[in-house]
Amino acid sequence: MYVYPDMAGQFHCRMCGACCRREWLVTVDEAAYNRNRRLFAAQGKLAEFNQAFQKLKGPTSPGEYACISKDAAGACWFLEADSLCRLHRLAGHEHLDSVCQTYPRYPMNSSRGTEITLCFSCPAVLDLVERTAPLQFLRVDEPPLKVGEDFVEHIFPRQKRKTDPLFYYFEIEQHFIDLLQCRSLSLTDRIVLLETTVAKISAAGGEDTLGQRLNGIFAENWRMLDQTGDFPPAAKVTAEIMTEHYLVNVVFKKIFYTYGLSTGLRILKKFHRFIRLSAVGAENNLAGARKAVAELEFRLGHQRSSLGKL
């Protein structure tokens, strides 16, 4: 089973090279390092290999053995003037490291199947979600796009204790997404309701009747939301709608499972505030929101230590 937001099935790489010009480091594992060394050695280009691939020094994360160098302008060593990858041309897609093969895809391994979404730091993805319709989540037997087996997250809630709210993670995630997409409230009010809900769920944690308590919390929210009435369809994309799409995607990326309910909420609130302030200060609010979303996604994916500075 594959679970994904509908926009993932519409993605096509535009070959714009934007991801190859970002300030992140593209790391490779030891196997990829040696594979590339053999490739360059066979072509008599070991000198270039030693310039293009730099072994990492000091503490590293698992799977990080070396990184690809940058040129003088800060772009990837292999990025050519036409925004295409010279290493891809030389050896093919399957030769590339897992980061380059996967981005902007974000595959997750879960107990309900393979879950796939996209990173909003990619301009092509931002164009896909610049729309008025809420994100819809699909479950199908075929993947919407090609993905490997290098999963970013592993989500198996039933391995938690039954008294732990995360045992019911998928139910909680769906409810959080429903709250964030309830446009009869302002996005700020939706965040407040989400905060109240997290507090209630956390307070119910540790109880044997947690499952029943969750059903009661969800039902109480829906009764309240039913009283807010219907909201007419949006006539155009706004900064708030763009922010909504991003926050929903962040929830689907399992931020509450990875960091826990309380920390996940704090991060989500910081994201909302950062985008809102960036949009207000921009000449074009939607353009400001897009820029802020791309920056946050970069930090979430590649500079997580900088999230606390928001």
Domain with 177 in it: 157-309
Q: For residue 55, which of 79, 25, 80 has the smallest C-alpha distance? A: 25
- Report how many domains make up the chain: 3
Q: Are residues 181 and 122 in the same domain?
A: no
- Same-domain status, 167 and 295: yes
Residues 8 and 143 placed together within one structural domain of the fold: yes
What are the CA-CA distances from residue 150 to residues 54, 146, 147 (Å)?
22, 12, 8
Residue 19: its pLDDT value, please?
Answer: 85
Return the pLDDT at 166.
97
* Residues in Cβ contact with 258 at an 8 Å cutoff, skipping those fewer than 6 apart: 153, 264
Distance CA 37, CA 147 (A): 25
Domain assignment of residue 58, yes or no: yes
Indicate whether 20 belongs to any domain. Answer: no
Residue 269 within any structural domain of the chain: yes
* pLDDT tens series, the chain, 310 aa: 999 999 998 998 888 888 888 777 788 888 889 999 999 999 999 999 999 999 988 777 777 889 999 988 889 999 988 888 989 888 887 888 877 888 898 999 999 999 999 999 999 999 999 999 999 999 999 888 777 777 889 999 999 999 999 999 999 999 999 999 999 999 999 999 999 999 999 999 999 999 999 999 999 999 999 988 777 888 899 999 999 999 999 999 999 999 999 999 999 999 999 999 888 765 569 999 999 999 898 877 655 545 555 5
Q: Is residue 44 part of a domain?
A: yes
In a domain, 188, yes or no: yes
Statement to judge: residues 127 and 176 lie in one domain: no
Asked whether 6 and 140 are in contact (CB, 8 A), the reply is no
Beta-carbon neighbour count of residue 41 at 10 Å? 11
- The full DSSP string for 51-120 is HHEEE--SS--TT--EEE-B-TTSSBTTB-TTS-BHHHHHH-GGGS-HHHHHTTEEEEEETTEEEEEE-T
pTM: 0.87
Query: Are residues 276 and 294 both part of a single domain?
Result: yes
Question: Which of 49, 74, 96 finishes a domain?
Answer: 96
Q: Which of these three, 46, 65, 96, is where a domain ends?
A: 96
* Whether residue 139 sits in one domain with residue 217: no
Contacts of 30 (CB under 8 A, 6+ apart): 65, 66
- Any residues with CB less than 8 A from the CB of 89 and at least 6 apart, and which? none
Within this chain, do residues 248 and 291 fall inside the same structural domain, yes or no? yes
Does residue 161 sit in the same domain as residue 150?
A: no
Structural domain includes residue 22: no
pLDDT at 307: 53
Q: Are residues 299 and 203 in the same domain?
A: yes
Are 125 and 53 within one domain? no
Asked, for residue 9, whether it belongs to a domain, the answer is yes
- Amino acid (1-letter code) at residue 35: R
- Verify that 39 and 107 share a domain, yes or no: no
The β-bridge partners of 70 are 76
Domain closes at, from 73, 96, 119: 96
> Is 147 part of a structural domain of the chain?
yes
Shared-domain flag, residues 83 and 106: no
Q: Which pairs with CB-CB distance under 8 Å and at least 24 residues apart come from 223-229? A: 224/193, 225/182, 225/184, 225/185, 228/182, 228/184, 228/185, 229/184
